[in-house]
Amino acid sequence: MLSPTSEIEGRLQRLKGRETRTQSIATRFTPSEERALLQVATSCGKNLREWAREVLLDAANGQQHGDGAPLFAEVQALRLLLINTLEPLLRGEKMTPEQFKEMLRYVKTNKRKAAADMLASYAEGTTEQP
């Protein structure tokens, strides 16, 4: 456990080199909302104010906390690759190395659009047809 002196020294060390924070934003939550926020902040190893500040700044900078957009695009890339390569193979057709390279180029070019389309369909509540 840290001594009170080393704890204060640690805080002072973090303050060096950054702009002074002078502005505050307040909002109100229900007790159940506060418990939910505290639980998430604690699971991230942060106090509520520190966690909320990060989430707000990430949102203001156009990011979502724990943004998984790049990962989701890669999942969609795998999905595109599997769908577009397995279907002909299941019909008994063979794929040449050139065809496979072309498929990889197609996937690389279209994975972000596929991810955006999928997210849009989730937002609309539509289901995907096979």
- CA torsion sign for 66, 69, 70, 73 is positive
pLDDT at 83 over 80: yes
Q: Are 51 and 40 in contact (CB under 8 A)?
A: yes
Q: Shortest CA distance to 64 belongs to which of 119, 121, 128, 17? A: 119
Q: Shortest CA distance to 86 belongs to which of 72, 97, 100, 73? A: 100
pLDDT at 101: 94
Q: Rounded mean pLDDT of 110-121?
A: 89
pLDDT at 3: 65
- Count the Cβ atoms, other than its own, within 10 Å of residue 79: 15
> pLDDT grade, residue 65 (50/70/90)?
very low
DSSP state of 7: H
pLDDT at 119: 84
| pTM summary value | 0.46
Q: Shortest CA distance to 83 belongs to which of 114, 113, 112? A: 114
Residue with tokens 């990962």: 71
DSSP state of 64: -
Q: Rounded mean pLDDT of 102-130?
A: 83
pLDDT at 28 over 60: yes
